Chain A
Amino acid sequence: MGKLGSFVGGFILLIGLMAFSLMVGTRDIPIQTIVDTFTNYHATVNELIILTDRLPRTIIAILVGASLAIAGCITQVIFRNPLASETTLGINGGASFFMVLSVTLFTGWSLSQLIWVSFIGSGLTFFIVFAIGRAHSPLQLTLAGTSIAALFSSLTHGFLVMNDRSLEQMLYWLTGSVEGRELGDITPVLPYLLVGIFLAFFLSWSLNLMALGEEVSKSLGLSVSIYKFLAGVAVVLLAGSSVAISGPILFIGLLVPHLAKIWVGQDHRVILPFAGLLGAILLLGADMLGRVIMMGQVIPVGVMTAVLGAPVFLYLVRRWGQSI
């Protein structure tokens, strides 16, 4: 399968999944109703379900999946480490702790204000991990990131326990979920996501050079520190806004870059868009699986990706077992 074929196939799959995502759930909706919702709207119950529940979660799953996957690609290049990702470096965890803190402390804040808190959280964690783990082996970096994630998760739990919040509100920040958002919630996050994605594409050529190593990229005339900084900004924008809207969703950023490289090779100009596509497909698929796997019980997509992603993480560890 050529690169073009992969893209076309991916798009067809994504569109198919989108249609299914609108149809499937605790209540099955025929495809004709979905078409009617957009062409001939009558505000029936099914059409309302589509507009207020299924459509937002589908769009969010696609956006967040793509963003996390692209952020993962960049992170692996910055750290030159196959196990680096927002998950393993604790960036998701940092952002969600700061979100929990501000959601409970500043109750009146809207999402467009909260998203900055999420940026601060993810940026701070990124900086800490970068400072500690830069010159380290994959093992040490992963350990550093996971322990930071553990700290933030412990703080998050402690904070939630003390504040007696209802479980519904906790759900987002503990596991990551695309449920219960409205179309209007996407608007404040969208600009940052788009800036992040454009910045990532703008950097894709320099990412190729950076992947070759600091020495090589320097000798080819790339001012590494500036580009690393920009790449870091892109990661913070992408991961931060993802967490702001859907909480910490694990493993997408770790797995998708590897899958994408298997499919389309090592050129980041191709990898980034393809990883975005793949991330969207995976997250949408995981969300649908979470909706249908247990009767009458929706499993948050964050739990699904963790359960599906952990075995692949183990596989990766075994595969790189000799070199690390």
Chain B
Amino acid sequence: MKKYVWIILCLILFCLVVISVGVGEAYISPLHVVKSFLGLGNPFDSLIIFQLRLPRIVLATLAGMAFAVAGCILQAITRNPMATPEMMGISGGASVAAVSIIMIFSTQNDALSISLNFLPLFAFLGATLVALLIYLFAWKKGVSSLRLVLVGIGFYILMNALVNLIVLIGPLFRAMQAKTWLTGSIYGTTWKEVMVLLPWLAVLLPIAYLFSRSLTIHELGENTAIGLGMKIKTERFFLLILCTSLTGAAVAFVGGITFIGLIGPHLARRLVGNDYRFILPVAALIGAIMVVGADLIGHTLLAPKEIPAGVFTALIGVPYFLYLIYRSKGKVSS
């Protein structure tokens, strides 16, 4: 069963990528897309595919994976299925940092005056700062997961306000682009962005996978974890940093694509059970599928207008979230 899940998800992702690459102002049939992938297509198709369309799709895939894995980690360490980097203001912290950088260091002709490489770093710092503040404010003789989530919501609202503030007081000509970015859009991606994001994820995702066993134990509860010989506080802190760096790196490039960190882990748990060794990769695949899918819908539905992908992930994510809350009726988790 689990093997089939893998194969099916990979197939879905592959199909989506092929369709996504084909659709656009110049339509390329799936057959030609696959030919180009294999190096047999005509040079014109290959140029469109590899130079114009593929970077965007690769970025969507990577970001989806990062969001989903970050969500898995956060849910495991807070032991709360409702915890997501978006709703707890962690993505918001990354957004505030990234928007500030975009506003401060952008020149008149629409370019950043500092290297693009700094963007994920600052976004990571913003996300980490918010995560630490949440932890600090939720601390009251220990951290209860309920308080953690509620304090997170407070930060979520605050970060939204700060982003609006920065956009409003910044130069007007950047504001529109910042807004587009904040709603979650990957329009106009080139290999340059992909190449900045890729090293982060190439390091962080394997590390996350190495910790998958300890995530499973974290979710069982503090006492079990201590009983099994885990240094719970140090490890929880390390995992939190892992979560913020994944979130920060992804937010820096795709902006506010929301609710991937919620749906990815939940669907994965339904498909493969409670062992994070299986949850993490499956959630990552689901995350990638969702972002690529949302982006595909976003640029085909009202073409040539672009609808930010974040709108669709929120449209799927929020009803699901509400369903989760509705189902948990009466249950008081602690």
Q: Give A residues with C-beta under 8 Å from B.
A: 83, 87-88, 128, 132-133, 135-140, 142-144, 146-148, 150-151, 153-155, 157-158, 160-162, 164, 167, 170-171, 174-175, 250-251, 294, 297, 299-300, 302-303, 306-307, 310, 313-314, 317-318, 321, 324
> What 1/0 mask marks residues of chain B from 153 to 184 whose CB sits below 8 Å from any chain A CB?
11111101110110011001001100110111
A90 to chain B, nearest CB (A): 10
A300 vs B164: C-alpha distance when bound (angstroms): 10
Q: Which residue of chain A is the closest to B306 with respect to CB atoms?
A: A162
Contact A140 B158 (CB under 8 A): no
Contact sample, A vs B, 5 pairs, CB 8 Å cutoff: A294-B169, A302-B164, A307-B158, A310-B158, A314-B154
Contact B82 A143 (CB under 8 A): yes
Neighbouring B residues of A138 by C-beta, 8 Å: 150
> Ordered nearest first, which 8 A-B pairs have the shortest CB separation?
A306-B161, A310-B158, A158-B311, A151-B318, A154-B314, A157-B183, A313-B154, A317-B150
Contact A306 B310 (CB under 8 A): no
* Residue in A136, A250, A303 whose CB lies within 8 Å of B165: A303
Contact A310 B154 (CB under 8 A): yes
A136 vs B324: C-alpha distance when bound (angstroms): 12
Interface-side segment among B119-127, B191-199, B325-333: B325-333
B67 to chain A, nearest CB (A): 15
> What 1/0 mask marks residues of chain B from 125 to 139 whose CB sits below 8 Å from any chain A CB?
000000000000110
Contact B157 A310 (CB under 8 A): yes
Q: Give B residues with C-beta under 8 Å from A.
A: 82, 86-87, 137-138, 140, 144, 146-147, 149-151, 153-158, 160-162, 164-165, 168-169, 172, 175-176, 179-180, 182-185, 256, 258, 302, 305-308, 310-311, 314-315, 317-318, 321-322, 325-326, 328-330, 332
Contact B161 A175 (CB under 8 A): yes
Using known A-B contacts A167-B168, A167-B176, A318-B147, determine if residue A143 contacts B325 with beta carbons closer than 8 Å.
Answer: yes
B43 to chain A, nearest CB (A): 35
A83 vs B146: C-alpha distance when bound (angstroms): 13
Contact B321 A143 (CB under 8 A): yes
Neighbouring A residues of B311 by C-beta, 8 Å: 154-155, 157-158
Neighbouring A residues of B138 by C-beta, 8 Å: 317
User: Which of B137, B153, B182, B315 has the most chain A CB atoms closer than 10 A to its own CB?
Assistant: B153
Using known A-B contacts A143-B82, A143-B149, determine if residue A87 contacts B325 with beta carbons closer than 8 Å.
Answer: no
Q: Which residue of chain B is the closest to A135 with respect to CB atoms?
A: B329
Contact B149 A147 (CB under 8 A): no
Q: Which residue of chain A is the closest to B319 with respect to CB atoms?
A: A151
User: Which of B155, B179, B182, B302 has the most chain A CB atoms closer than 10 A to its own CB?
Assistant: B179
Q: Which residue of chain B is the closest to A140 with respect to CB atoms?
A: B325
By secondary structure, the B interface counts as helix
Contact B137 A318 (CB under 8 A): yes
Contact B87 A162 (CB under 8 A): no
Q: Which residue of chain A is the closest to B326 with respect to CB atoms?
A: A132
* Residue in A147, A302, A306 whose CB lies within 8 Å of B322: A147
A132 vs B329: C-alpha distance when bound (angstroms): 9
Neighbouring B residues of A314 by C-beta, 8 Å: 137, 151, 154
Using known A-B contacts A133-B325, A307-B162, determine if residue A139 contacts B168 with beta carbons closer than 8 Å.
Answer: no
Contact B161 A303 (CB under 8 A): yes
A234 to chain B, nearest CB (A): 24
Neighbouring A residues of B161 by C-beta, 8 Å: 175, 250, 302-303, 306-307, 310
Known: A160-B179, A170-B179, A307-B158. 14 other contacts (CB 8 A): A132-B325, A136-B328, A138-B150, A139-B149, A140-B325, A154-B183, A155-B314, A157-B182, A171-B168, A250-B157, A299-B168, A310-B155, A310-B161, A324-B146
B132 to chain A, nearest CB (A): 14
Neighbouring B residues of A302 by C-beta, 8 Å: 161, 164
Using known A-B contacts A158-B308, A299-B169, A310-B161, determine if residue A148 contacts B332 with beta carbons closer than 8 Å.
Answer: no
* Residue in A147, A160, A310, A318 whose CB lies within 8 Å of B87: A147
Contact B175 A150 (CB under 8 A): no
Q: Which residue of chain A is the closest to B323 with respect to CB atoms?
A: A132
Contact A161 B151 (CB under 8 A): no
Neighbouring A residues of B315 by C-beta, 8 Å: 151, 154-155
A297 vs B171: C-alpha distance when bound (angstroms): 12
User: Which of A133, A138, A150, A155 has the most chain B CB atoms closer than 10 A to its own CB?
Assistant: A150
B173 to chain A, nearest CB (A): 10
A286 to chain B, nearest CB (A): 12
Neighbouring B residues of A317 by C-beta, 8 Å: 137-138, 147, 150-151, 154
Neighbouring A residues of B184 by C-beta, 8 Å: 154
